[in-house]
Amino acid sequence: TADGGAGPVKKRLGVMGGTFDPIHHGHLVAASEVASLFHLDEVVFVPTGQPWQKEHQRVSPAEDRYLMTVIATASNPQFSVSRIDIDRGGRTYTLDTLRDLRAEYGDVDLFFITGADALAQIFSWRDAQELFSMAHFIGVTRPGHTLSDPGIPNGGVSLVEVPALAISSTEIRDRVAQGEPVWYLVPDGVVRYINKRNLYRDAG
Ligand code: ATP
Ligand code: MG
């Protein structure tokens, strides 16, 4: 063939899954750094429906989490947000996420981005083996957690260092509940959205 048999170059799509309750600069810097290091064409942020790992916690309405994710990513031409997990309903399983993204985006190379804490749990995820065949996994450093290869077969994981931001959504929620500022931990528009919708005011 004209291209020497290499075939057409596939689009490289990063996938950043999360509860995003709320999205913060730790998520954003991780996605940005991985996009640069792995020459990704796009990173799609996918807010979860009801996360099965968090069934005993209170999670904000999906529409609020979705809108905050849109607000936080809107100015970056490489970032987008998908409603697939929210609209599917029910519990979110990452295998469904990846299958639905494939169906929507066609034949792309998928790169699933996950922090060190989430990566360490990956074998507890449903259909772990099938997941590894659908996407390349990229584990990123996160302060307070040790990043290591959990034993994903065939070089299916890369470990990368990203700028360290010791920020978690849990801490943001706690700060808002205590009346402490969250400016500069999350994008300005997200601070304003939290205030407008009165999110996280009552501790719990
Ligand atoms: P919560 O405290 O509610 O669990 P979180 O800050 O851990 O919130 P999630 O939505 O649970 O945010 O995380 C989504 C993904 O982003 C996970 O893979 C997580 O490891 C990663 N992540 C979250 N915060 C950071 C951070 N500060 N640095 C690197 N990765 C992060
Ligand atoms: Mg988390």
Distance 115 CA to ligand 1 centre (A): 6
Indicate yes or no: pTM above 0.80.
yes
φ/ψ (deg, to 5) at 3:
-95, 15
What confidence score (pLDDT) does residue 50 get? 73
The CATH code that applies to domain 12-166 is 3.40.50.620
Distance 135 CA to ligand 2 centre (A): 21
Separation of alpha carbons 204 and 92, rounded Å: 23
The complex scores an ipTM of 0.99
Task: Compute the radius of gyration of the chain from its Cα atoms.
Answer: 17
What confidence score (pLDDT) does residue 126 get? 86
Distance 148 CA to ligand 2 centre (A): 17
Q: Widest CA span of the chain, in angstroms? A: 64
Helix or strand holding residue 17 (H, E): strand 12-18
What confidence score (pLDDT) does residue 61 get? 93
- Per the omega criterion (within 30 degrees of 0), is the bond before 187 cis? no
Helices (runs of H) and strands (runs of E) counted in the chain: 8, 8
- Residue closest via CA to ligand 1's atom 31 equals 115
At residue 141, the 3 state secondary structure works out as coil
Tallying the residues shown for the chain, one arrives at: 204
Distance 54 CA to ligand 2 centre (A): 9
What confidence score (pLDDT) does residue 2 get? 55
Query: Which of 16, 27, 146 to mutate to test ligand 1, by most ligand atoms within 8 A of the CB atom?
Result: 27
What confidence score (pLDDT) does residue 56 get? 74
What confidence score (pLDDT) does residue 5 get? 67
Q: DSSP letter for 112, please.
A: E
pLDDT per residue of the chain (204 residues) written in tens, 0 to 9: 555 667 789 999 999 999 999 999 999 999 999 999 999 999 999 999 976 677 777 899 999 999 999 999 999 999 999 999 999 988 899 999 999 999 999 999 999 999 999 999 988 888 888 999 999 999 999 999 999 999 999 899 999 999 999 999 999 999 999 999 999 999 999 999 999 999 999 855
Distance 167 CA to ligand 2 centre (A): 10
Determine whether the shortest distance from the Cβ of 18 to ligand 1 is under 6 A. Answer: yes
What confidence score (pLDDT) does residue 4 get? 62
**Which residues, 6 or more positions from 115, have their beta carbon under 8 angstroms from its beta carbon?**
26, 30, 139, 140, 142, 145
What confidence score (pLDDT) does residue 89 get? 87
Q: DSSP letter for 41, please.
A: S
- Residue closest via CA to ligand 1's atom 2 equals 170
